[in-house]
Chain A
C-alpha cells in the first residue's frame, strides 16, 4: 500500500486535502457551496477542449475554471447569484459536450475527469500540483483578515473599505486555482466533497476560526487517507469513499451541534468573531 505509485497517490491526496480543507472553510463560511460545485464541474469542459486541440489538460482546466470564476463573479453582481451560477455551469458543460462530440476521447478519460483517478497519479504531476496548492494557500493567507471580515460581516467590512465584490472575485479565483490543480488528479467530485463536508463539520465543532481551519484540514486528511486505503483494498472508485466519508463527517458535526445546543435546530448557528 505504501510503495511505488501508491506513494504518489498519498502525496497528491495529502496536498489536495490540505488545500481543500483550508479553502473549504471559507466556502462554508460564505455559503458558496454551489460555486464550489460549479467551478470544478465546469472546468471539466476545459479539459475536454484542451484535449481536442491537443493542448495540456492542466492549461485547459486553468483557463476554464478562471473563466468560470470571473464570469460568475461579474454576472452575479447584476443577476441572482444562484441563477447565474447554474447557467454558467450548464453553459460550460454544454461546451464540454460539444468538445467531446468533436473529439475521439474515449469513455474512461471522461470518467476519470469527473470521478478522479487518484491511484494513477504519476510522479511528474506532483510538482505542478504542489506549486498551485502553495499558491492557493498563500493567497488565502494573504487575504485572510479581509476575507474573514467580508465573509462574516460584509456590511461592516464594506464600511471599512473592504470591497465585497473584490473579495468575492479574489475568493472565486482561489477556488479556480484549487480546481485547476485538483481536477486532473482527483476529479471534480472529490474536491467538491472535500470543500464541503469536513469544513462544515469543523464549523459545528468549534466557533474559533483558526481552530476550525485546523480541524477542517485534519478531518479532510482523515477522510482522504481512509478513502484511499479503502479504495486500495476494495478496488472501488476513490470518489465514492470520499463522497460518503465527507457526508459522514457532516453528519457527525450536525449530531454534535444538535446534542450540544439541544434546542431547535433552526436556531441560527453562532457567528464567528473575527480573530
Chain B
C-alpha cells in the first residue's frame, strides 16, 4: 500500500486541493471538449489557451489579477475567431491561426514588459507549464464559479448544440439558431480553457480538453456513454498523474519531483494510442454507422 501511496499523500493539503480542483477541471474540460472534438475545433480550443495567456500576462502588467485577464483574453479571442471565422473548416483554421499568431505576439510583448518593468520572474514557465500543486486557496472559489458557468452553458445548450455539431444543415432546417448556439458554445469553451490554463497550465488544458473526449468517441458511438467515459478518463488521468507526481519526489536520491503535467499528458496520450489498438488488430476499419438520431448514434464523428 505505501509503495503506491507514498507517505503523507492523503494528509497533504496541496494534494487534496489538487485532487478536487483537478477533478472539477477534468469534468468541465471533458464535457466542453466533447463538442470541441465533434465540431473539429481542436485547433480553436488549443489556440484559446494561448490567447488567454496573452490576457493573463496583460493583466499582470496592469496589476490586475491574472485570472480576470485569462478569462477576458479567452472570451475576446473566441469573439475574434467567431467574427472572422468563415464556415469552411479550412478558412476557420486560418482565422484561428491569425488570431493565435497575433495573440502570441501580444503575449511576447506583455511578458517582456512584465519582466523588464516588474519583478515577476518565472512568468512564462508558470503560465505554460503551471502546476496544480501550487494552487492558491483564494482562487478556488473562482475556479468553482467559472467552472459552474461553463457547465451550465453546456447543459443548457445540450440538445441544440449536439444537433448543430452533428449536422449543421439539419439543425438549421429544424430552426436551431446555429450561429447563436455556436457563439455561446465558444463562450463556454473560452471560460473553460481560460480557467484551466490558469490553474493547470496551457499544455494540460489542451490535453484534458481534447484527449479524454477523443478516446471516448473512439470507443463508443453513444453520446451519453461517451460523455460518462470522457469524464471518467479525465478524472482518472488527473488523479493518477497527481499520484505519480507526488510519488516521484521519492524516486532517486535527489528530492526533485517530476512535473505533474507531464504525467497527466502522458497518461492521456497513451490512452489515446491504446484506444486505437482494437481497430488495428481487427485489421479493417469498422463500418461507421450512419447517423440516425443524434441521441443514439454519432457514428460519423469517429474521432
A residues within 8 A CB of B124?
107, 110-111, 114
A105-125 Cβ-contact flags toward B at 8 Å (1 or 0):
001001100111000000000
**Is A243's CB under 8 angstroms from B108's CB?**
yes
**Is A101's CB under 8 angstroms from B93's CB?**
no
A192 close to B (CB within 8 Å) = yes
Residue of A nearest to B113 (CB): A236
Q: Nearest Cβ in chain A — how far from B224, in angstroms?
A: 21
Residue of B nearest to A247 (CB): B102
Q: Nearest Cβ in chain B — how far from A177, in angstroms?
A: 20
Q: Nearest Cβ in chain B — how far from A200, in angstroms?
A: 5
**Is B42's CB under 8 angstroms from A86's CB?**
yes
**Is A87's CB under 8 angstroms from B258's CB?**
no
B90 close to A (CB within 8 Å) = yes
A residues within 8 A CB of B218?
79
Complex CA gap A31/B115 in Å reads: 36
B87 close to A (CB within 8 Å) = yes
B43 close to A (CB within 8 Å) = yes
Main secondary structure of the interface of A (DSSP, over half): helix
Complex CA gap A244/B90 in Å reads: 21
Complex CA gap A65/B99 in Å reads: 23
**Is B109's CB under 8 angstroms from A236's CB?**
yes
Main secondary structure of the interface of B (DSSP, over half): helix
Complex CA gap A240/B45 in Å reads: 22
Chain A: number of interface residues, binned into ranges: 35 or more
Chain B: number of interface residues, binned into ranges: 35 or more
**Is A83's CB under 8 angstroms from B210's CB?**
yes
**Is A82's CB under 8 angstroms from B43's CB?**
yes
Complex CA gap A95/B37 in Å reads: 24
A263 close to B (CB within 8 Å) = no
Q: Given contacts A107-B121, A110-B125, is CB(A237)–CB(B108) below 8 Å?
A: yes
B residues within 8 A CB of A116?
108
**Is B101's CB under 8 angstroms from A196's CB?**
yes
Complex CA gap A115/B273 in Å reads: 31
Q: Given contacts A82-B40, A236-B112, is CB(A196)–CB(B97) below 8 Å?
A: yes
Complex CA gap A100/B259 in Å reads: 9
Q: What are some 23 contacts across the A-B interface (CB < 8 A)?
A: A28-B94, A33-B94, A37-B43, A37-B47, A78-B276, A80-B40, A86-B42, A89-B206, A90-B203, A91-B207, A93-B203, A97-B129, A97-B201, A97-B261, A101-B257, A107-B115, A110-B125, A189-B108, A193-B101, A241-B105, A243-B105, A246-B101, A250-B98
